[in-house]
Amino acid sequence: MFRSIFILLLTALGLLVHNHSKAFDIKGSSSEFITDFKIFLDSTNQMSLQEVIKHNQFKSNINSSVPSLGVTKHAYWLCLNVSNLSPFTSLVFEVSYPILDLLEFYHLQNDSVQFKIVTGERLPFSSRKNTSETFVFPLNLKPGANATYYFKVESGEQIIFPAKILTNEELYERKQNIAIFNGIYFGIVLVMFLYNIFLFLALRDSSYGYYVLYIFFVGLTQAILNGYAFKYFWPNNTWLAQHAILLGGSLSGLTTIFFVRDFLQTKIFSPRFNLLLTGFAGIYVITMFLCFIGELQLSYQLINANAGLGSFILLFSAININLKYETRSSRFFIIAWSIFLISVIIFVAKDLGLFPYNSFTVSGLQIGSAIVVTFLSFALADKINTYRKEKELSQAEALSIALENERIIAEQNILLEDKVLTRTTELKKTNDELNNTLKNLKDTQSQLVEQEKMASLGQLTAGIAHEINNPINFVTSSIKPLKRDIDLLIELSAKIENLGVDGIDSEKRKLVIAKLKNEYDYKFLLEEISYLLKGISDGSSRTAEIVKGLRVFSRVDEDDIKQSDVNEGLDSTIVICNNIIGSKIAIEKSYSSNGVIECFPGKLNQVFMNMISNAAYAVKEKFQDKSGGLIKISTQRTQTELSIVFEDNGLGMDEQTQKKLFEPFFTTKPVGEGTGLGLSIVFTTIRKHDGQILVESTPGIGTKFIIILPVTHK
């Protein structure tokens, strides 16, 4: 492979040495490039033609080939004296370097400017006198006449001035040959571009994606260098015309690096080179930034340096991978890239004057890039074929392994069937035992829940009995004195009636009645009867209130979802729990105006009783028989939720207790005072309502339970 590259390099150098160009005679027309220009550097960029002529500091071109003036921000002036000793009248200058930013052409005859033409990429393409992508100027010089021609040149890239004097026929023939060559070149690029796009869409392989971008920017860069991009793509965009070669070169370099990294898999096979290539990619980004801020010359120089060094780094990376791993991809790349590097060296050496400026050196880069584009397309196809073969081998190996596994499995199945049968029998026996255990646990759970309900019922019954007993005792104790007072009134009434029968006059009757009233203490009897009747009325009302609260609390339809007023349920529960709360604990209520939601009313009342009894217990444990205990109960309703808050200033709980609060059988009460199922049942009930319960507590400060219920039950 390397021997082939070496032979190819020798062949290219042989073609360069065998340069069949002729020396240029300035007294006639010729198809050779003009080398006898006199050159002057205008470091001010502001000198006029008259000032340049007066300054008269022109120097002869020291290059044997076309003038290569380097990269500069300054303007160059070129001067050429011409004597037309030929019979031709239709002679033209052609400057075949289309990427010059500014080119001013002056025709002087008899020390007088005959005409002036200004062109270049700073002017729209439509301003040109002809449609040539190169710069063409008429000599307007009759046979036997003499004239002097001046050119002013400025560019953001390297200034090269390949000029010829041609007849119109020679110019047309040259354009035809160049058009055929470029048509073949761009045809190859377009075919490879479409071919690889099709493969990318079919295979979705990232290498093809990067390669498609690489081909596009390589072709675009060549179109810019040959003047076709300005002529056909952006003829009126002078900014893009002046910056296109820099942006195209940077993007071409970037896509090259991305493609090579993916194609050679440098991240796997050569991590150090992969990191180095990333650095080169970063430099290309910097060159684009410099281009956008107007540093064209610096951007151009940095692109050339980065491309030159980067090209060799890419080659060394491929050689390193090939030496270590001998991959087919690296071998293909070494061959293709070596050819491309030879073409780049020839092209750059031509610009530097090291090689003659002829058709071969001018077209070398296009020939090299066309070969690389085609060769790497074949390399990608080979890579896909390699992947397919590897996949087929992998599938064959997998099939072999699968067949072997199938044989082993068949042998093992016989042993496993016996073991499975034995194990199935054991599992069936264990499963039966577990089912019995589960049934026992469910029965035990049901019994515990019923015990909790019975404990709550007993607590409720004791409270109700105590609450009803007080008003009933007052009624009972008031009946006997009330009967006695009524008997005395009846007796007094009989004696007063007898006074009318005895015929006593009215004055005496009044005195006797007043004496009898005083004797029976009539006024006190009326007051005592009124007091006893009021007490009986209060006792009966209190009893009716307790009975009403009990009726609201213990709903018979608790297993049905229905709309119920939570505020009413809270009030009834407070009445029922009055005995548990006692006289030393204050109750503060703050209800929402609307407490109606869809719920299980009876089950919610059990939740409320549990909350109130737990709060009362915590407060009593903190305050004992002293006053100061407080339980706050509040509700707040939105369109979708109702929150119920129970807040007390009791003992409070630490975080560890809060984490276990809703676990079954967990309680902080002494043995015999709690089963540990109350809050577990509360949690289950709230979850049955699709709600949630939150707890906030601080030891020594108090506890807050927040119950959030949906207004509409799903």
Give the per-residue pLDDT at 713. Answer: 77
Give the per-residue pLDDT at 10. Answer: 33
- Give the C-alpha distances (Å, rounded to integers) separating 670 from 80, 268, 673, 679: 118, 70, 6, 16
Give the per-residue pLDDT at 673. Answer: 60
d(CA 704, CA 697): 6
Which residues of the chain, if any, have pLDDT below 50?
1-29, 556-557
Give the per-residue pLDDT at 119. Answer: 95
* Residue spans per domain, the chain: 23-173, 177-385, 392-550, 560-710
- Give the C-alpha distances (Å, rounded to integers) separating 605 from 15, 466, 612, 613: 106, 20, 10, 12
CA 520 vs. chain centroid, Å, equals: 99
> In CATH, what class is 23-173?
mainly beta
Nearest to 363 by CA among 96, 675, 698, 686: 96
For the domain covering 560-710, report its CATH number: 3.30.565.10
Give the per-residue pLDDT at 550. Answer: 58
Cβ-contact 289, 266 below 8 angstroms: no
- Give the C-alpha distances (Å, rounded to integers) separating 387 from 244, 251, 369, 382, 391: 38, 29, 26, 9, 6
How does pLDDT run across 125-181, given as a tens digit for each residue? 999 888 899 999 998 888 888 889 999 999 998 898 999 888 888 888 889 988 999
Give the per-residue pLDDT at 78. Answer: 94
**Domain pair 23-173 / 560-710, same fold:** no
Give the per-residue pLDDT at 15. Answer: 34
The answer to whether the Cα torsion of 372, 366, 346, 212 is positive or negative is negative
Nearest to 66 by CA among 164, 165, 162, 152: 162
d(CA 255, CA 622): 79
* DSSP single-letter state for residue 23: P
Cβ-contact 100, 153 below 8 angstroms: yes
* DSSP single-letter state for residue 670: P
The answer to whether the Cα torsion of 480, 485, 490, 495 is positive or negative is positive
DSSP, collapsed to helix, strand or coil, labels residue 588 as strand
Give the per-residue pLDDT at 74. Answer: 93
Q: What's the chain's Rg over C-alpha atoms?
A: 55
DSSP, collapsed to helix, strand or coil, labels residue 429 as helix
How does pLDDT run across 435-452, given as a tens digit for each residue? 777 666 655 555 555 555
Give the per-residue pLDDT at 13. Answer: 37
Give the per-residue pLDDT at 525. Answer: 72
Q: Other CB atoms closer than 10 Å to residue 541's CB: what's the count?
A: 11
The answer to whether the Cα torsion of 120, 125, 130, 134 is positive or negative is positive
Q: Would you say the pTM of this structure is higher than 0.85?
A: no
Give the per-residue pLDDT at 28. Answer: 46
Give the per-residue pLDDT at 478. Answer: 65
DSSP secondary structure of 498-559: HHHHTT--HHHHHHHHHHHHHHHTHHHHHHHHHHHHHHHHHHHHHHHHHHHHHHHHS-TTTT
d(CA 344, CA 311): 9
Cβ-contact 500, 509 below 8 angstroms: yes
Per the DSSP assignment, residues forming a β-bridge with 590 are 634
d(CA 338, CA 341): 5
d(CA 257, CA 270): 14
